[in-house]
Amino acid sequence: MSRAGSVFEVSDPFTHPSGALAITKRVRVDLRGEPAALDALAREARFLSLARHAAVPRLFEVGRDERGPFVVEEAFEGTPLANAMTGWEAM
């Protein structure tokens, strides 16, 4: 479960009322009962709410609906971090 990118399902980009391109992240259906997965979403929301940097997406909304908790954040075009890290090792 701790593999990068394996915890969330992400919507296709859409236009947020702010005019920015946005995505919605949710805990994957098969992991919704896992406290660690829910904690990962909460940690990401907390980080995005505090961070102010051009390389960090803006947080637009945090909520819960019939499908569970979600985070709406700015969508970034580009290479996923996991792809950029291929071949790198911790020192």
Summarised one tens digit per residue, pLDDT across range 44-75 is: 999 999 999 988 899 999 999 998 899 999 99
Distance of alpha carbon 89 from alpha carbon 82, whole angstroms: 12
Mean pLDDT score, 13-32: 89
pLDDT at 3: 44
Report the percentage of the chain scoring pLDDT > 90: 40
Whether the Cβ atoms of residue 68 and residue 58 lie closer than 8 Å to each other? no
Query: Residue 7 pLDDT > 80, yes or no?
Result: no
DSSP secondary structure of 8-29:
EEEPPPEE-TTSSEEEEEEE-G
Residue 5 has a pLDDT of 43
Which pLDDT does position 60 carry in this prediction? Answer: 95
- Measured CA distances, 56 to 66, 67, 90 (Å): 28, 26, 22
Q: What is the DSSP secondary structure assignment for residue 39, as one 8-state letter?
A: H
pTM for the model stands at 0.76
